[in-house]
Structure 1
């Protein structure tokens, strides 16, 4: 194998996962300190939005320059690509109508992507940093709006995100047919290992993925609500 090729659970992959865990822990530990900045956080949020947008634009520029860009697989129509754009809008505008999509679809998709990346270039290439920083950015954005901005996840939000995701599927399926693409893996499984390998053959895995999606959203909801309840109890005791 090409030494520049990405290897699942290699030292660089595990390092990226450990970095992800570290920044999530840091955000959780520092949540109360962040809250003290009040309106000043808007500048941090918009700076983060600009960084994520710049990373994505540079990625598309790199693909164009290297001849990798094509309608079939370079449009921002994967779940994480869509989640990234929504996260950028959320960070820039603070529009809470889009939080649920980032919180459930975004985090659910990004965590799975971090564990089983569809990636062919390893550290220290720009693509490696783009992949992990943008996916970590999606997750941090969702957690930030819960832990720092005080958004309370709801079951209504879970089903809102699920319905919105399903509303996108027919549109993306049609685009796949037009451009001969495989966005959201609606026509076949990815070439590298992923969760889809355990969900049956095509097209059965798409139905199975629906079940996995709603269960993942509910799991994220329960984790965040349990954490919120524990923090409320600790605050009342203090």
Structure 2
């Protein structure tokens, strides 16, 4: 049940107690980082977190392969969350301001969406449940850790720079989809079930919807946490 490939043995249901528990733990982790904002950054903690994240991603690929769930249509580590995990690992290793901006904008926005509307079949006590929420939670918590403990800054440049990075990656993801028949980043079609993208219609309009949604999310993050709030009035 803990590692098996049959989701019916430990199903996940959105908005039930398992989902609520994950959201509550995420909120507690963010609050804890906020309370520790005057603490010194811990290099050993950062390196350990980077190693843990890398190990979780390797485990996930191995689990997909061993259980027969690996398929080139969906299992390549090219979803935005996979890419943001890589960016988060790089941030933890390098403490780079540019990487931080991408993680905080694209990473937190996408991971928060994943927390609120998780695309997940396996619930407790399955390992996939822990993998899903640990990796997405690590992206979010790492972003706030570098914002509050390292005091990295977010400018308006962070918004358009992150949008630029995503749009540079977009043609590559589209090409992979064409070659594999996949739907990474939901470029080829909207996700199954109800989503915000339903408001924009079918292809290619839903891609415009994703651009608008991303820009709005990044702007909101900048308005709440951006360095403009620290500037004294003229």
Same fold (TM over 0.5): yes
| Equivalent position of 1:9 in the other structure | 15
| Equivalent position of 2:201 in the other structure | 200
Q: Which runs of 5+ in 1 are unaligned?
A: 233-238
Q: Report Cα offsets for 1:89-140 as digits up to 9, x if no partner.
A: 1101222221111010111100001100111111110100000000010011
Q: Which runs of 5+ in 2 are unaligned?
A: 1-6
| Equivalent position of 1:236 in the other structure | none
User: Does 1:29 pair with 2:35?
Assistant: yes
User: Does 1:61 pair with 2:29?
Assistant: no
Mapping of residues 220-231 of structure 1, within 5 Å: 220-225=221-226, 229=230
Mapping of residues 60-139 of structure 1, within 5 Å: 60-139=61-140
Name the SS of the counterpart of 2:226 in structure 1: helix
Q: Aligned Cα RMSD in Å? A: 1.9
Q: Report Cα offsets for 1:63-84 as digits up to 9, x if no partner.
A: 1100111211111111111001
Name the SS of the counterpart of 2:68 in structure 1: coil
**Structure 1 residue 8: Cα displacement:** 1.1
**Structure 1 residue 43: Cα displacement:** 1.3
User: Does 1:160 pair with 2:166?
Assistant: no
**Structure 1 residue 142: Cα displacement:** 1.1
Greater share of residues in helix? 1
Q: Report Cα offsets for 1:5-30 as digits up to 9, x if no partner.
A: 22111110111011111100111011
Change beyond 3 A, Cα 1:227–1:27 = farther
Q: Could you list the runs of 4 or more consecutive aligned residues of structure 1 that deviate by over 4 angstroms after TM superposition?
A: none
**Structure 1 residue 141: Cα displacement:** 1.1
Q: Report Cα offsets for 1:122-181 as digits up to 9, x if no partner.
A: 111010000000001001111111100010101111111110001111110010010111
Alignment length (residue pairs): 226
Name the SS of the counterpart of 1:62 in structure 2: helix
Mapping of residues 204-219 of structure 1, within 5 Å: 204-219=205-220
Give the distance between the partners of 1:190 and 1:123, measured in 2 at CA.
24
Contact 2:147 2:153 in 1 (8 A): yes
Give the distance between the partners of 2:97 and 2:230, measured in 1 at CA.
22
User: Does 1:151 pair with 2:152?
Assistant: yes
Contact 1:49 1:91 in 2 (8 A): yes
Give the distance between the partners of 2:159 and 2:228, measured in 1 at CA.
17
| Equivalent position of 1:235 in the other structure | none
Give the distance between the partners of 1:75 and 1:3, measured in 2 at CA.
25
**Structure 1 residue 211: Cα displacement:** 0.8
When normalised by structure 2's length, the TM-score is: 0.91
| Equivalent position of 2:4 in the other structure | none
Contact 2:153 2:227 in 1 (8 A): no
